[in-house]
Structure 1
Amino acid sequence: LADGTRLYDKGLPQDEAHLTALFNELKEHGRVLLIVDQPNTIGALPVAVARANGCGVAYLPGLAMRKAADLYPGQAKTDPRDAFIIADTARAMPHTLRVVDRNDEVLSALKMLSGLDDDIARDCTRTINRLRSILVQIYPSLERVFAGEVLQRAFVLDLLIHYGGPTKLKKSGKTRVLTWARNHAKKDPEALVDDIFQALSAQTVTVPGTGAAEIAIPMLATNIKSLK
C-alpha cells in the first residue's frame, strides 16, 4: 500500500490462475499497479494478466533499479530482496517508473523474431561447416567440388541425402547418377556430375570412419535444407 503496508510477501507461481487470484484480492484494497523489471521476458505473463484484469502496468528500468538497490542494506541479489526494492522504489519514488505500452509489445515481438532468425542462421552455418568438415575428412577432393555456395544448393543437398556420400556415388556409377541428377536439377547437372566423378577417381583408399560419416552426411544435408 501507499503507506508501506505489505499485503502479499511470498513466492507466486508463474501461471494465469494464481496471478488473477492475487490481482483480484489486491483490487479489494484499491487500484493495483504491477511493477516489473523485465517486461519483455520473465515479466511478460504477469503484464498480460494484469492488463486483462484492469490493473495498471509499469516497469523499473535497470539503471534505476541498480541505483535504488544501493540505498538498501545488504549486497546479496535474491528474488525476495529485488521484489522488495522494486515495490518500495515504486511506492517512494514513482518518478523512476516507466509505462509499459503497446510499442513495447511490438518491440518485444520484433526482438523475439530477430533472435529466432539469428539462431536459425547460426545453426545453418554450423551445420554447413560440420558437413564440410566431414567431407574434408573422408574425401577432400569431393569437398573441393562443393566449394563455397555449391554445397548449399538444394540440388547438391538432395544428391547427398539420396546417395549419402562417395561410396554409394561410386557404386551407382556416373551414368545412373547423371540420370538421377537430370530428374532433380533445375539446370543441366552434367558439368557438376563430371566434376564429382573426377574427384571420386582421385582417391582409391577408404579413410577410417567413412561408414559413420556417410550416415551423418544425409542427416546434416537434411538439416541444412530445413534451416534454409
Structure 2
Amino acid sequence: MAQIWAGTGIGKTHHHCVVLTAQGERLLSRRVLNDEPELLALLADVLALGQDVAWAVDVADGMAALWINVLLNHGQHLVYIPGLAVNRASAGYRGMGKTDAKDATVIADQARMRRDLTVLLPDDEHAIELRVLTSRRTGPNADRTRRVNRLRGQLFRDHGLADVIASMPGIGPLLGAEFLAATAGDMSRYGTADRLASLAGVFPLPRDSGNVSGNLHRPRRYHRGLQRVFYTSALISIRSCDDSRRFYERKRSEGKRHTQAVLALARRRVSVLWALIRDGQCYQSNLRVTSAA
C-alpha cells in the first residue's frame, strides 16, 4: 500500500509534480523541465520522502512518454487518470483558477482516493492501445489541416485581390483566404468600412441609458471568422510592422488594456485594408489613406 501519492500534470516543455500524504497534506510541489536529468532528480527527491510511492499522470503518451518511461524503467507504480476526469474533479477543489499546480494536486488526490484507475505497465496492452489511438487521431488531423491550408493558399493566390490583401502586414495566404471567404471578395456589398468593422466585431456600438452616455460595446451579432482575421493579423503586425507597433503602444500609453489596444488596432486595419482594396493599391509604410466608401 502506498504511503504517498505523486501526481504529475503533463506539459509540452515542463511538468508539475505534487506529492500528497495519506491525509492529503502536501509534501512537495515542483515545476520540472521535461528533460531526463531533471526528471531523474525529481524521482530521487520524491523517493527520498517515502519509498512506497504511487505515481499518477493525466497523459499516457506523446509529451508524457519520457516521464512514463523513466518511472516504469525504475519499477514505479504508475496509474493513468484521463484528462477529462481531472477537469471534472477540479470543480470540487478549492480555488477557481486553473493552474499546473492545482491540476497536479487533483491528479495526486484522485489517485489517493480512487481504486478504479488504470495501472500502466511497460508495453502493456492499454498503453499500446493509447499510443495507437493517439497516433491515429493526430495523423489524420494533421494531414487534413495541411491539405486545407494548401487549398486555401492556392485559391487565395489565384484571386485578383491577393497581392493587395497580402501586402497588409500580418495577413498571409491563410488569413487572406479566410477574409475572402467571409466577404465573398465583394467589398461593395458592405457599403462602408464602418459596416465591415461592425460585421467583424471590432467596431463598438453605443449603449447609452438615461444617466450614462458614451458607453460602447461590441455588436451582439458579428462574423467570428472576420474577427479572427483582423484580431489575429493585428497581433502579428505588432511584432512585424513598425506602424502597427507604434499605434498599439500609443493606445497602451492612453491607459487601454492589451485586448482593448489590439481591438483598436484591428479596427484601424479594417479601414486601411478597405481603402487599399477600393483603390487597388498595395500597402506601404506610413501610407495615408481615407476609409470613406
State the TM-score, normalizing by the size of structure 2. Answer: 0.40
Larger radius of gyration: 1
Q: Which has the higher strand share?
A: 2
Higher relative contact order (CA 8 A, sep 6+): 1
Q: Which has the higher helix share?
A: 1
